[in-house]
Amino acid sequence: YGLGFGGSQYGGYGYSRFREQNTSGPSRFVRTAEESSRTAFQSVESIVHAFSSVSMMLDATFSAVYNSFRAVLDVTDHFSRLRMQFTNALSAFALVRTIRFLYGRLLALLGLRSKSEVDAAWVESCAAGASIEGASVSGAGRAGPKSWPILLFFAVVLGGPYLIWKLLSAAAQEPETVSGCEWASGEDDHIVARAGYDFTATSDEEISCHAGDVLILAPKEQQPRVRGWLLASRDGVATGLVPANYVQVLG
């Protein structure tokens, strides 16, 4: 039995070969497909992250605007309550005036006070009551739906990134301008050269020079990648390109 079972096709090849195929790694086709599509999936992932960042920015902006709006509402509510307290106080004063009017009317009936004084007190009491009622009606009439929170939200969403972009652009342009002026005036790293031939500029990107003129060349890291041309300055202010074979480097 030992030789028969060991020499059979199942003992020699069948199950052991199937097991080796399961434990082997991915095929060459799978690896090639993964490597070729990796860049595309990374691009899609970056786009998804960008949308997620924009969504988080909008959420933070909405929270800030809403919290500011709630703070303004709280302050307005406190002022409204204060106004109601003053209104109640004025109502109490009007009640006192009414009592005084009734007391004056009683005195007028008894002949202890003239009728004109009583009428004046009544007119004053009515005027105070009308002013209180008008304040309440005007306060109720002003209440209504407002659209300025929506405008404020969109102003922050659109204006905030624009201001940040302008600030970053200005900050990125200032160092370049300063460094350019420094090397052209000789204050920063530069190279001194002499023009060997006359050259007449044919575009705004070039500068003219005469044979024997001393030129200040920009350092190597600031030279443009234009074959056969060098960035130079003749007067320390204006900069432009000159042919490299027209220039003799002095040091």
Q: For residue range 99-121, what is the model confidence (pLDDT) as tens digits? A: 777 777 777 677 665 556 556 65
Would you state the structure tokens that stand for residue 226, as one six-digit string? 């234009």
Query: Collapsing DSSP states into helix, strand and coil, what is residue 216?
Result: strand
pLDDT digits (tens, 9 = 90+) for 161-208: 777 778 777 766 544 444 455 787 777 788 889 998 999 988 888 999
CATH of 191-249, one of 2.30.30.40, 3.40.50.720, 3.20.20.140, 3.30.1380.10: 2.30.30.40
Which residues share a beta bridge with 209? Answer: 199
Single-letter amino acid code for the residue at 117 = E
Under a CB-based contact definition with an 8 Å cutoff, are residues 108 and 115 in contact? yes
Tokens 């130079």 belong to residue? 232
State the pLDDT at residue 111: 66
Give this prediction's pTM.
0.31
Rounded CA separation 233/186 (Å): 10
**Under 8 Å between Cβ of 233 and 188:** no
Contact in structure between 118 and 101 (CB atoms under 8 Å) = yes
pLDDT of residue 242: 92
DSSP structural state of residue 222: G
